[in-house]
Amino acid sequence: MPTLRQSNAMSRFLLFVLVTLLVGCASDSNPKATVNRLVYGLTLSPSGFDPHINQSSEMGIVLRQVYDTLIYRDPDTGQFVPGLAASWSISEDQTIYTFVLRQDVTFHDGTRFDAQAVATNVNRIVSPEARSQNAAALLGTYDGYTVIDDFTIEIRLSEPYAPLLDSLSQFYLGMASPTALETYGLERYQFNQVGTGPYRFVEYVPDDRLVIRRNPDYTWGPSFYQAPANGVIDEVEFRFFRDPATRLTTLEQGGAQVMGEIPPADARTLVGNSAFQIITAVVPGQPDQILLNTQLAPTNNQSFRQALMLGTNRTAMIDALYQGFSTPATGALTRGTQFYSDASANRYPFDGQQARALLSTLGYADTNADGIWDTPEGDLTLKMLVPPWGEFRQISQFMQDQWHSIGINLELISVPDFSTLMSEIAKGEYHLVAFNSYGVDPAFLKTYYASDGSRNFSGYSSPELDSLLNDAGRQLDPTLRAALYKQVQAVIIEQAVVMPLRDRINLNGVSSKVSGLKYDAYGWFPVLYNASYSP
């Protein structure tokens, strides 16, 4: 029999074990207490969060961390680098792309990544049931695939499509687990996403939060993914801050460590504050711009459109609104976009007197001397559709004031969201629409300026421009593509189809306790794997 001393010792040992187990259970039940956790503020809550189905760029801030793509663009060089594809080759006729895949990649649910997984993803994206809003279009002239072996797949095109590699580097074409796709289906998958990326998808509560957690097994990232030595970010909670007025306050009070799209005036107040930093990223693609409806009078007249261009003081507008963080745009592409040309940069310098003179030559008169040109229906009034994102509402108010000085009333029609904007555009009862989009490869110009472009909001139609856009999209030689897109940009500006306003800059307010944060080649999406956080 054990002695009293032995019994007491045994009791103390058992008590120690019990306390240790209880502490361990408490730690497991509260993982937030044991991880390095960062809160990242988003500016809007997308209506859907599936990259293969939905089109919001905002979801890419999150999902760029969850998914890998076959290839990547290096954010520093802009060049394509291997991702899930270790290498690729293009056939002589430029219609077959062969991808040799990595053999050491596993999805977050344990499913092997291989050629059949790529095939499953492509099948889902192009299926009619998915009703893809963007991913399917990114595949361009896609015409099928052939699985060569376990780790080799060919993607076939019906004709050359130069932007394919750029498309395959975007998160919309990220690779999802075939097991998860089959398990959850089209409706439930957005709440149960499974990729191969540096972070695992943990939780999505619409209009509230989205949580991701670092993948400890991740070893196959692109060359520019470099994990920090200290302060690794274990978990990120994304929260939605739709009201711009709340973003600075939340950041200052510690409610978030990163806040996207800080209003320029608020960003200016953070400059010089050692507790924070402003991280800027150039956003390639279209500038903030106004597309002019060429199908409705009076903006169907080229000279009238040119008068509007001359009557807009973009420099004064940008200086007032963007606090020195941005510069006026000069064309249909921003300066950070591939094949940008500045050949038409000085085509429409601000000149209010010349704008009024040009309108006078078109037959307009101010018979009642109220400062506004007359029409048979009354004062000359234009209608502009204004979406809620960015600073378009402030921009439109500046334009309203400026155009009043050249004799034009501008009626602003605010729309609450993208779907409403599309509905209003479909009616065709507008003269102008504020809009923008992002992208590195300018092939997206075809969507906006080809006669049959799905977003040809201006209604402009030109066989010459159609031919240039088609040739540029098929041509892989970068020198020839650059020459073609230079002509494209010249036609768009000369015809005054678009009014470029400012080159886009992504302004992010960031705690000084966050280090190494940078954004990818598209300007919007953080590379969180490289960042560190020291609370």
**Pairwise pLDDT comparison (59 vs 7), residue with the higher score:** 59
pLDDT at 251 over 50: yes
Average pLDDT over the chain, rounded to an integer: 92
- DSSP class of residue 364? -
Least confident residue range of 80-84, 111-115, 264-268: 264-268
Whole-number Å distance between alpha carbons of 438 and 283: 7
Domain ranges across the chain: 42-282+507-533, 288-503
Strand pairing partners for 30? none
**Least-confidence region, from 9-13, 33-37, 77-81:** 9-13
Q: Give dist(CA 143, CA 141) in Å, integer.
A: 6
Q: Which of 1-5, 102-106, 179-183, 279-283 has the lowest mean pLDDT?
A: 1-5
Mean pLDDT of 359-373: 95
478-492: pLDDT as tens digits: 999 999 999 999 999
Residue 21: per-residue pLDDT: 40
Averaged pLDDT for residues 52-65? 94
The listed CATH number (2.60.40.1120, 3.10.105.10, 3.30.1490.190, 3.40.50.300) that belongs to domain 288-503: 3.10.105.10
* Lowest mean pLDDT across 27-31, 146-150, 460-464: 27-31
- Check pLDDT > 60 for residue 216: yes
434: β partners: 290
CB 332 within 8 A of CB 472: no
Asked if the model's pLDDT at residue 411 lies above 50, the reply is: yes
34 falls in which pLDDT band (50, 70, 90)?
Answer: low
Is the pTM higher than 0.85? The answer reads yes
pLDDT digits (tens, 9 = 90+) for 266-293: 999 999 899 999 999 999 999 999 999 9
Whether residue 2 is predicted with pLDDT greater than 50 in this model: the reply is no
**pLDDT value at 10 more than 80:** no
Mean pLDDT of all residues in 361-378 = 94
How far lies 80's CA from each of 72, 157, 195, 434, 519, in Å? 5, 20, 21, 32, 16
Record the tokens describing residue 72, joined without a space. Answer: 């990547």
Long-range Cβ contact pairs of 473-480 (< 8 A, separation 24 or more): 473/140, 473/161, 473/162, 473/163, 473/443, 473/446, 474/94, 474/159, 474/160, 474/161, 474/162, 475/160, 475/162, 476/90, 476/94, 476/160, 476/162, 478/339
The per-residue pLDDT for 45 is 84
What's the CATH class of domain 42-282+507-533? alpha beta
pLDDT band at 17 (very low <50, low <70, confident <90, very high): very low
Beta strand 258-259 with 37-42 is: parallel
Does 138 score more than 50 pLDDT?
A: yes
Q: With bands split at pLDDT 50, 70 and 90, how would you rate the model's confidence at 44? A: confident
The pLDDT of residue 443 is above 90: yes
